[in-house]
């Protein structure tokens, strides 16, 4: 199995690996911001919601976000 996994990883482009790690990090951060927004006082809740929106735009390539190709 180790040889098979090693071979599979060598076939991936490094940019795809970096993007997958970045998306994973963004998902974890989004969950934490969602939890904070649910229990925080109003100003902190608005901040967490705004940060979540900006994070989602960046990941999806929406307004102000990076394009999916970069």
13 in any annotated domain? yes
23 in any annotated domain? yes
- The string of pLDDT tens digits covering residues 19-62 is 889 889 999 999 999 998 899 899 999 999 999 999 999 888 87
User: What total number of domains does the chain contain?
Assistant: 1
Q: How far apart are CA 37 and CA 56, in angstroms?
A: 15
Residue 44 structural domain: 2-61
62 within 8 A of 56, measured Cβ to Cβ? yes
pTM flag (> 0.75): no
Residue 24's pLDDT is 92
70 in any annotated domain? no
69 in any annotated domain? no
Q: How far apart are CA 2 and CA 61, in angstroms?
A: 36
């Amino acid at each position: 199995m180790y040889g098979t996994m090693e071979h599979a990883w060598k076939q991936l482009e490094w940019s795809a690996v970096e993007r997958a790690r970045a998306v994973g990090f963004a998902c974890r951060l989004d969950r934490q911001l969602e939890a904070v927004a649910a229990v925080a006082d109003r100003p902190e809740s608005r901040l967490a919601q705004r940060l979540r929106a900006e994070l989602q735009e960046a990941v999806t390539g929406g307004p102000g976000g990076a394009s999916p190709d970069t």
